[in-house]
Amino acid sequence: MKNKFLFIVLIFITACSTATPLPTLAPATQPKPTLPPPTQVTPVTAVPTATAASPTTVPTIQSVVTGKYVMSFHACDESKTNCRDPRNHEVYLAQSDDGVAWKMIPNWKPFKGSVPDVIRRGNTLYIYTASGEVVKYHLDTSVVDAPTRVKVKGLDMGFADPSLIIDGEGRLVLFMLNGFVPNGDPAGCPPNQTTCEKYMDAAVEVKGSDGTEFNLESGHRVTVKLGSEFRSASDPDIFFDGKQYVMYVSHGASITAWTATTLLGTYTRLTNLSTNLGGIPAGYFDSSAKLYWTYGHINENGRAVIRRATHTALAPLTAADFKTVLTGATIGLGATFHVESPGFAVNNP
């Protein structure tokens, strides 16, 4: 049995060794994997850059402050609270393209404050209040910062009634009523005193403080003697008319105009601009039309409203020169609101 099996195996081996070998395939006929054509491959670099997310990019929001001019003011609802108490005032912001028709900034949230002033530098609106605070509105992101306390080095008692301007070096310069009257109106004399002096002073921004720190300048920009002519002096407002610096000073519902050739010089009284026609003023010079714009608030039919006069010179104004431009009703707050203390700025970086 074993021999038979061995014989069969030998026959099989012999047959295999004499079999015709398989032909060798030429390299050109060897199969190759099929690849997609190059045009079907979309490289990563072809993704449009506009759709690529960048973790370091800060999103820019289209600003809703598009008017040529902005106005800060405080308001109060007489039907709900005592509006003679400044603690019940709230600050609002409006915009306009002509200085006459004003609309509230969309989605504006008022904050506690009184007698505000506003100024733009770069992409930021700085809103200062009589309580010695500043609120910054960042136009490129629509972010409104919380109020920040303003420090004025060299000022002992604090300040009221801020007005801002930018000097030739790009610094904010703060003009203010410098004075504190215990248990009394800072615009008037102390109790039981019939005559006194009130001072309008200035302080220059500390570099790097972004409007939160200032150094008080020596001397007084304006000195007002109270007594027989005026019983109060307050609310300075500073602007440049192309030739000189102009400061308005409020005396109740009246306004005086003062001028100086340098921003931090001593201002000289030029004229009684208005008498009992409105106070707490804001001024601007329209260089293209060669016109002064004078804003102020006054009581009209039991409610405070904001009016504007346009005039070619710093000379006494009449009632006919003033036109009402902003009321609680026209700005959308309601007919029971007082609107007061306009602050004015050009909406330009």
pLDDT in tens, 77-110: 999 999 999 999 999 999 999 999 999 999 999 9
pTM of the model: 0.82
pLDDT value of position 61:
65
**21 in any annotated domain:** no
Structural domain harbouring 91:
69-346
Q: Please state, rounded to an integer, the average pLDDT across all residues of the chain.
A: 86
**2 in any annotated domain:** no
**231 in any annotated domain:** yes
**27 in any annotated domain:** no
Domain count, the chain: 1
**Across-strand partners of 118?**
127
- Look at residue 8 and tell me whether its pLDDT is greater than 50: no
Q: Report the CATH number at residue 97.
A: 2.115.10
**29 in any annotated domain:** no
- Look at residue 208 and tell me whether its pLDDT is greater than 90: yes
Any idea which of 115-124, 152-161, 205-214, 313-322 has the lowest mean pLDDT? Answer: 152-161
Cα–Cα distance measured from residue 339 to residue 282, given in angstroms and rounded to the nearest whole number: 14
Cα–Cα distance measured from residue 197 to residue 143, given in angstroms and rounded to the nearest whole number: 41
pLDDT tens digits, residue range 13-72? 333 334 344 344 344 334 434 434 444 433 433 334 334 444 444 445 678 999 999 999
Structure tokens at 272: 């009684």
pLDDT value of position 158:
82
pLDDT tens digits, residue range 56-75? 444 456 789 999 999 999 99
**53 in any annotated domain:** no
pLDDT tens digits, residue range 309-347? 999 999 999 999 999 999 999 999 999 999 999 999 999
Averaged pLDDT, 182-187? 80
pLDDT tens digits, residue range 128-140? 999 999 999 999 9
pLDDT value of position 161:
96
For residue 103, the number of C-alpha atoms closer than 13 Å in the C-beta half-sphere is 11
Cα–Cα distance measured from residue 181 to residue 280, given in angstroms and rounded to the nearest whole number: 19
Averaged pLDDT, 225-231? 95
Residues in the chain: 349
**6 in any annotated domain:** no
Cα–Cα distance measured from residue 74 to residue 162, given in angstroms and rounded to the nearest whole number: 13
**226 in any annotated domain:** yes
Cα–Cα distance measured from residue 84 to residue 69, given in angstroms and rounded to the nearest whole number: 28
